[in-house]
Amino acid sequence: MIASENSDRASLLADLIGLRRPIAESLSQLRGFPWDSPEELVTLTRADLSNLLRAYLKGVLEAAECERWAEAVSGRDDVALDEDSSGLLGRILFEMSSPELFEPISVQVARGWLDRLGSV
């Protein structure tokens, strides 16, 4: 893959993680890139996940959008989880993307995840 493609891909991933575009738009543009990657291009932090949960609690995002976001972020080789919080981030992403196995996303569940993430 050439450098400009990696740069474009990293920019689209950063847009998705940072909620700089509508989630559906980011996901649509990322379809042109494979999930597999020889390197991690962006890092998801506790602050990123907290921002998503706060957007949900403010009514900016719906539960289904949060679920799609978590599915998209958690399965990618090009997205790293912050080293200091990788276990917690991975667990919350798994719970968020698997409401059929855990609780569906709700205000109470989102607040619980925010509590687990701590203040960031």
Residue 57 CA to residue 113 CA, distance in Å, equals 12
Residue ranges making up the domain that contains 25: 3-117
Using an 8 Å Cβ cutoff, are 66 and 27 in contact?
no
Question: Number of structural domains, the chain?
Answer: 1
- Low-confidence residues of the chain: pLDDT under 50: 1
Using an 8 Å Cβ cutoff, are 105 and 67 in contact?
yes
Predicted local distance difference test score (pLDDT) of residue 1: 44
Predicted local distance difference test score (pLDDT) of residue 32: 87
Predicted local distance difference test score (pLDDT) of residue 17: 97
Residue 85 CA to residue 104 CA, distance in Å, equals 23
Residue 116 CA to residue 28 CA, distance in Å, equals 31
Predicted local distance difference test score (pLDDT) of residue 37: 86
- pTM value is 0.90
In this predicted model, what pLDDT tens digit does every residue of 7-31 receive, in sequence order? 889 999 999 999 999 999 999 999 9
